[in-house]
Amino acid sequence: MRSATRFLLMAWSCSVAVAGQSAHEAVADLAIGRKIFESQCAVCHGQGGTGGRGPSLTRATLAKAPDDAALRNLIKEGILPEMPGSWQLSVREIASVGAYVRSLGSVKPEALTGDAARGAAVYRAKGCAGCHILAGQGTGHGPELTAIGAKRNAAYLRASIRTPAESLPDDYLLVEVVANGGRRIRGVRANEDPFSLQLRDLAKGQFLTFRKTDLTDVRYLDQQSSMPAYPDKALSDTDLEDLVAYLAGRRGESK
Ligand code: HEC
Ligand code: HEC
């Protein structure tokens, strides 16, 4: 009997909370939204939403947030593994950031000067496909580029090519270990806990798991990339702009 009463009370308070939520949504506040955006989103999406490690949001339609409800949900849940969720924000704060993101839709998008068709030829000629998969073509251990244009802005793409070590994806850490028998292995860290270390082997792309007690040396190659840099001697400014225009247009689903 008591538990039935408690159940009824819970159901009642839930419906009150839901009614309260929609009341809050109605008062989404752009100024609050902008403040939250600048402190929590701009680190990846740029001040004013012009992009960076994350995509630019100055677009009238957002592929992953077709309507406002989807946008609020995306902000709350994040897009794992690259974008963290914002569980700490209240319903009203989420609605406010959402409103601010929508307001960016009328900002003029970034202009690209390169020729994407020429960029595709540069991509082939420079052997990028030896390390990257794009739309099912290519091999290697570099990140997949099929949807790279939906993830990064042009400035970030330029930096990734000219100076890869300065624009490493967040979770990218190159590690070199020496196993007990003296074998030296380099890989990208996939997982680590106090007792074990899992690496993605750069040569074969396989995952290798080590017990830390079996390793005689572990070196974290912070700020190093296994992607060669392409300075202007290796890639002219025109080639770079064409390549960036090509990559910016790659917006397919990655999996
Ligand atoms: C650590 C970096 C990071 C932070 C912080 C971050 N994002 Fe993102 N966001 C990304 C990346 C990367 C993507 C693209 C992910 C993908 O497509 O797989 C993305 C995608 C999005 C999209 C989808 C864009 C589209 O074209 O559909 C929206 C909207 C968005 N973020 C809004 C926000 C808001 C609002 C915040 C702050 C509350 C935020 N993000 C914080 C990295 C971040
Ligand atoms: C020897 C292998 C190798 C070659 C060749 C190579 N890359 Fe990479 N690339 C990587 C690796 C590894 C990363 C991830 C670590 C980093 O960013 O440095 C990467 C990262 C990137 C990124 C950033 C990806 C992201 O998610 O942020 C872009 C863009 C990129 N490469 C484009 C290119 C282009 C264009 C070429 C050809 C001009 C090229 N790469 C040639 C290995 C390679």
Nearest CA residue ID for atom 37, ligand 1: 41
For domain 24-106, the question of CATH label 3.40.109.10 is answered with no
CATH 2.30.30.100 in the chain is located at 174-221
CA 160 – ligand 2 centroid, Å: 7
Q: pLDDT tens for residues 27-48?
A: 899 999 999 999 999 988 988 8
In degrees rounded to 5, what are phi and psi of residue 182? 100, 0
CATH 1.10.760.10 in the chain is located at 24-106, 116-164+230-248
Q: What is the largest CA-CA distance in the chain?
A: 81
Pocket test for ligand 1, best of 35, 38, 45 (most atoms within 8 A of CB): 45
Nearest CA residue ID for atom 8, ligand 1: 83
For domain 174-221, the question of CATH label 2.30.30.100 is answered with yes
Report the distance separating Cα 109 and Cα 45, nearest Å.
13
Mean pLDDT computed over 75-98: 93
Position in ligand 1 atom list of the atom nearest CA 89 = 38
pLDDT at 204: 67
Q: Is the pLDDT score of 20 beyond 50?
A: no
pLDDT band at 24 (very low <50, low <70, confident <90, very high): very low
pLDDT at 91: 94
Q: pLDDT tens for residues 201-255?
A: 766 667 889 999 899 899 888 777 878 899 999 999 999 999 999 999 998 864 4
Q: pLDDT tens for residues 116-134?
A: 999 999 999 999 999 899 9
Under CATH, to which class is 116-164+230-248 assigned? Answer: mainly alpha
Q: Which of 39, 51, 21 is nearest to 154 (CA)?
A: 51
Mean residue pLDDT across the chain: 84
Q: Three-state SS for 38?
A: helix
